[in-house]
């Protein structure tokens, strides 16, 4: 039995976290197939415009949309079922279904992995109502990422201090009980990434974030020391919004919130500019990269044509051959560890972004990519096999993009199983992607 399986691309969401407008308008939630299915219910659709139809038959259109969500949109309902649950139960809930299956993970005889190490990627959705001048409530609150950090810390604390068990009295229900399981016997190890968009902060605030969450990382001499410190903090830290703002715990213990995060998540479609033209913004971004090099903090950056898109410059900021080239071509950032997620996939059929990412990998051992959300079927791993050769195999990572992958997958269990049983990758390639490469990326 191997020790750890790493999923470097994981999400911890509830419905309060995303920018809901960006969530609802994701083109993979309501796509052309969905639209055709709904509109196909009207045999005269080709003869009149949809807008006319909506005006003439509003009740009928509304009913058809509701029928689609109720009867056909199983994946959407599955996703929302998880997202509307209490965030504190997230890891416990996911663990329950993984262990119930007794297939690949756990301590039972025949399991392949004892531990499942996941990297929840927080996303800096920014000031969600900024720019909505036609709304009455149009003044954004401060601290855009702080609530997600609080929820993450409490979810991790709940996971290591409680268990979910079948309810003894209510069939089909689960019951929360105090755990009797030692931390090192829990299934999950949790290595989060802090979501950050420098545009939402001034330079002093960014420096404070690094001091708060990444204090003393520059003194870690070896990978095991870094991982050991994060492991020792897992499940020991609780947080609330008041303390995050007043920083009272930090006044008593400056290291209280350090060694919670393993890395930083960047998201260009939400407005992160890898190399801004504005000198003030550029100074903040350069500070971010320099600190990540100095403290050996890995970055994961969204690199696909889909996702939460709110910026009109989403494609330009995401394209790895443009502004990212200005970053990676500078000698001061040669040691910057960066994972261009999603295989650099574009959804117009072009492979330009993927070719750029693969070229970066061949030239720079600190550049990685992951397969998150691109491999919902066993046969999808053909696309991974095509780019995996002797020059790239050490820099390709497994990622599931759970729970967003529930748009296409039946469950997290299924996504993991597809990877472990696909015939299109050798056992050695799988081991590299889910064991060896992630440890080098996260802690090496």
User: Is 26 inside any structural domain?
Assistant: no
pLDDT value of position 47:
43
Calpha distance 352→362 (Å, rounded): 15
- Structural domain including 232 reads 2-14+76-443
What is the predicted pLDDT for the residue at 36?
Answer: 55
pLDDT digits (tens, 9 = 90+) for 288-336: 999 999 999 999 999 999 888 888 899 999 999 999 999 999 999 999 9
| pLDDT, tens only, 209-232 | 999 999 999 999 888 999 999 999
β pairing state of 2-10 and 299-301: unpaired
In-domain check, residue 49: no
Looking at the domain assignment, is residue 292 inside a domain? yes
pLDDT at site 247: 86
Q: What is the CATH number of the domain that holds 371?
A: 3.20.20.140
Phi first, then psi: give them for residue 409, nearest 5 degrees: -105, 150
Burial of 42 per CB tally in 10 Å (0-12, 13-18, 19+)? middle
CA pair distance 293, 287, nearest whole angstrom: 10
Write the secondary structure of the chain as one string of H (helix), E (strand) and C (coil). CEEEEEEEEECCCCCCCCCHHHHHCCCCCCCHHHHHHHHCCCCCCCCCCHHHHHHHCHHHHHHHHHHHHHHHCHHHHHHHHHHCCCHHHHHHHHHHHHHHHCCCECCCCCCCEEEEEEEEECCCCCCCCCCCCCCCCCCCCCCCCHHHHHHHHHHHHHHHHEEEEECCCCCCCEEEEECCCCHHHCCEEECCEEECCHHHCCHHHHHHHHHHHCCCHHHCCCHHHHHHHHHHHCCCCCCCHHHHHHCHHHHHCCCCCCCCCCEEEECHHHCCCCCCCCHHHHHHHHHHHHHHHHHCCCEEECCCCCCCCCCCCHHHHHCCCCHHHHHHCCHHHCCCCEEEHHHHCCCCCCCHHHHHHHHHHHHCCCEEEECCCCCCCHHHHHHHHHHCCCCCHHHEECCCCECHHHHCCCCHHHHHHHHHHCCCCCHHHHHHHHHHHHHHHHHC
Number of domains in the chain: 1
pLDDT at 407: 81
CB count within 10 Å of CB 312 equals: 8
Model pLDDT, residue 155: 95
- 417-420 contacts, C-beta under 8 A, 24 or more apart: 417/103, 417/104, 418/375, 418/376, 418/377, 418/378, 418/380, 418/381, 419/375, 419/381, 420/104, 420/112
**Is 378 domain-assigned?**
yes
Distance CA 321, CA 431 (A): 30
Is the peptide bond prior to 403 cis by the omega test (within 30 degrees of 0)?
A: yes
User: Does residue 314 sit within a domain?
Assistant: yes
Cα torsion for 17, 339, 276, 204, to the nearest 10°?
A: 60
- Do the Cβ atoms of 172 and 96 come closer than 8 Å? no
62 within a domain of the structure (yes/no)? no
Please state the φ and ψ torsions of residue 118, each to the nearest 5 degrees. -120, 150
Residue 344 lies in a domain: yes
Within-domain flag for 34: no
Number of Cβ atoms within 10 Å of the Cβ of 4 = 15
| Per-residue pLDDT tens listing for the chain (444 residues) | 899 999 999 998 776 666 555 555 555 555 555 555 544 554 444 444 455 444 555 565 566 656 655 555 566 677 767 777 778 999 999 999 999 999 999 999 999 999 999 999 999 887 655 555 666 766 655 556 888 999 999 999 999 999 999 999 998 889 999 999 999 999 999 999 999 999 999 999 999 999 999 999 999 988 899 999 999 999 999 999 888 888 889 989 999 999 999 999 999 999 999 999 999 999 999 999 999 999 999 999 999 998 888 888 999 999 999 999 999 999 999 999 999 999 999 988 899 999 999 999 999 999 999 999 999 999 999 999 999 999 999 999 999 999 888 888 889 999 999 999 999 999 999 999 999 999 999 998
Bridge partners (DSSP) of residue 275 are none
> What residues does 10 pair with on adjacent strands?
120, 402
């Amino acid at each position: 039995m191997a020790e750890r399986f790493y999923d470097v691309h994981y999400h911890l969401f509830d419905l309060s976290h995303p920018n809901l407008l960006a969530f609802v308008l994701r083109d993979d939630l309501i796509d052309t197939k969905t639209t055709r299915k709904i509109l196909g219910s009207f045999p005269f659709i080709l003869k009149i415009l949809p807008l006319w139809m909506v005006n003439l038959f509003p009740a009928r259109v509304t009913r058809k949309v509701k029928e689609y969500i109720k009867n056909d949109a199983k994946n959407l309902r599955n996703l929302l079922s998880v997202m509307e649950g209490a965030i504190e139960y997230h890891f416990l809930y996911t663990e329950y279904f993984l262990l119930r299956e007794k297939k690949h993970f756990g301590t039972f005889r025949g399991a392949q992995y004892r531990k499942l190490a996941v990297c929840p990627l927080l996303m800096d959705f920014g000031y969600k109502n900024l720019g909505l001048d036609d709304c009455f409530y149009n003044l954004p609150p401060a601290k855009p990422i702080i609530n997600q950090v609080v929820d993450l810390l409490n979810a991790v604390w709940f996971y290591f201090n409680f268990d979910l068990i079948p309810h003894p009295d209510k069939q089909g229900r689960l019951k929360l009980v105090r755990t009797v399981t030692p931390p090192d016997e829990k299934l999950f190890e949790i290595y989060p990434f802090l979501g950050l968009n420098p545009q939402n902060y001034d330079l002093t605030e960014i420096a404070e974030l690094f001091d708060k969450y990444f204090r003393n990382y520059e003194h870690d001499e070896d990978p095991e020391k870094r991982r050991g410190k994060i492991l020792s903090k897992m499940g020991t830290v609780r947080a609330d919004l008041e303390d995050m703002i007043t920083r009272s715990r930090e006044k008593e213990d400056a290291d209280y919130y350090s060694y919670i995060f393993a890395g930083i998540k960047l998201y260009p479609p939400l407005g992160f500019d890898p190399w801004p033209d504005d000198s003030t913004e550029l100074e903040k971004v350069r500070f971010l990269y320099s600190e990540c090099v100095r403290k050996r903090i890995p970055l994961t950056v969204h690199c696909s044509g889909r996702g939460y898109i709110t910026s009109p410059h989403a494609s330009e900021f995401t394209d790895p051959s443009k502004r990212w080239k200005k970053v990676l071509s500078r000698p001061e950032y040669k040691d910057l560890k960066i994972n261009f997620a999603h295989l650099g996939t574009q959804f117009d059929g072009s492979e330009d972004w993927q070719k750029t990412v693969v070229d970066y990998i061949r030239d720079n051992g600190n550049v990685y990519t992951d397969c998150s959300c691109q491999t919902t079927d066993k046969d999808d791993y053909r696309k991974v096999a095509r780019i995996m050769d002797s020059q790239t195999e050490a820099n390709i990572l497994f990622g599931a993009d759970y729970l967003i992958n529930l748009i296409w997958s039946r469950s997290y269990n299924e996504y993991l199983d597809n990877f472990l049983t696909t015939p299109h990758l050798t056992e050695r390639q799988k081991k590299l992607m889910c064991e060896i490469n992630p440890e080098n990326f996260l802690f090496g």
